[in-house]
Amino acid sequence: MWSYHKVLRLIEIRIFVVGFLVAAAFVFSAGRRSSAALPADTIRVAIVKNASAITVDGDGLLALRENGAPVDLKTPVVVKAGKDDVSVDGISCRRLIFSAASAVYINGKPYHGIAEISFYDKGLLAVNELSLEDYLVGLINCEISSSWPIEAIKAQAVIARTYAVNRREARRNALYHLESSVIDQVYNGCEIEDNRARRGVSETAGEVLTYDGTVIQAFYHSSCGGKTEAAENVWGKSIPYLKGVDCQYCQLSPSSAWDLKLSLKELGDRLRAAGIKATGLMDIRAGAINSRGRLKNLIAVTPWGEVSIPGDQFRKAVGYGVIKSTNFTVRVVNGDVTFAGLGNGHGVGLCQWGAKQRALEGFSYAEILSYYYPGTELKQLSGNR
pLDDT in tens, 151-200: 999 999 999 999 999 999 999 999 999 999 999 999 999 999 999 999 99
How far is the CA of 377 from the CAs of 117, 162, 309, in angstroms? 38, 12, 37
Name the nearest CA neighbour of 359 among 122, 81, 48, 145.
Answer: 145
30, pLDDT greater than 60:
no
Q: What is the pLDDT of residue 40?
A: 67
Q: 266 or 32, which is more confident? A: 266
Q: How far apart are CA 374 and CA 306, in angstroms?
A: 40
Taking all residues of the chain, what is their mean pLDDT, rounded to a whole number?
Answer: 90
43 DSSP 8-state letter: E
Q: What is the pLDDT of residue 382?
A: 78
- Model confidence at 14, in pLDDT bands (50, 70, 90)? very low
pLDDT digits over 112-126, tens only?
999 999 999 899 999
274, pLDDT greater than 60:
yes
Q: What is the pLDDT of residue 38?
A: 63
pLDDT digits over 275-319, tens only?
999 999 999 999 999 999 999 999 999 999 999 999 999 999 999
β-sheet with 297-302: strand ranges across: 283-286, 297-302, 305-310
Mean pLDDT computed over 354-364: 97
Mean pLDDT computed over 249-254: 89
131, pLDDT greater than 60:
yes
